[in-house]
Amino acid sequence: MRKVYLLMAVAAIMMVGCKNIGSKKAAAEAEAAQAAAEEAAAAKAERINKAIEEVEAAENMSALEAVEALSRAQIVEGENLSDELAGNPDAAIPFAIVEEKPTFDGGDANEFSKWVGQNIVYPEAAKDRQISGKVILQFTVTKEGDVTDVKVLKGVDPVIDQEAVRVVSASPKWVPGNQNGVPVAVSYNFPVIFRLN
């Protein structure tokens, strides 16, 4: 009987040892996956920053060209969004790859840029301090056509940044983008230009 208990104890110790080895392997795999995700996020941030620099440096780039350049920076070559969207049907599709782009007032980003220009109020504090530049925003056009999740990707000054967010957040409804004939949320990157005359 003692031998049976002893063999059971040895088997239990071996099982715990195997589980620990499995746990170590799983932990190593999780660490590798985390490192790969961090590396991918850093590469994406670098691409976006480079695109922002290009948009900032461009003198005669249309709003639509800027939106497309900034959106392309979000895409990883060969990335399959089908799995990601299947897991989260409300996830925003990057502007560059959505089949049918969202439209604003019957037009594109250039039409939206006109609307922003008509509704922006240049902050007096920014005028007094001679602050100008391009604020790069990111927002989502929902599948209902609302503008949500407005955030600053690259700011100029908090006073100007807040005004850019205010105006874009006040946008009237858009016609949403479509993917496979179904309305979808679309991630949009957009420059708001502040120029002193």
Give me the pLDDT at residue 109, please.
84
Average pLDDT estimate for 29-53: 70
Neighbours of 75 (CB within 10 A): 15
Give me the pLDDT at residue 22, please.
61
Q: pTM for this one?
A: 0.67
Longest dimension (CA), the chain: 96
* Sequence spans of domains, the chain: 29-194
Q: In what order do the strands lie in the sheet with 186-194?
A: 93-94, 186-194, 133-141, 147-154
Give me the pLDDT at residue 196, please.
87
Is the pLDDT at 16 greater than 70? The verdict is no
Q: Which residues pair with 133 in a beta bridge?
A: 194
DSSP characters over 146-181: -EEEEEEEE-S-HHHHHHHHHHHHTPPP-BPEEETT
Average pLDDT estimate for 179-197: 90
Antiparallel, parallel or unpaired: β 186-194 and 182-184: unpaired
Is the pLDDT at 24 greater than 90? The verdict is no
Cβ(68)–Cβ(96) below 8 Å? yes
The residue ranking higher by pLDDT, 114 or 24, is 114
**Tens digits of per-residue pLDDT, 54-108?**
766 767 766 667 666 666 666 665 555 555 555 666 788 888 888 899 999 888 8
Average pLDDT estimate for 20-33: 69
The residue ranking higher by pLDDT, 22 or 27, is 27
Q: Where are the alpha helices (DSSP H) in 58-101?
A: 63-72, 81-87
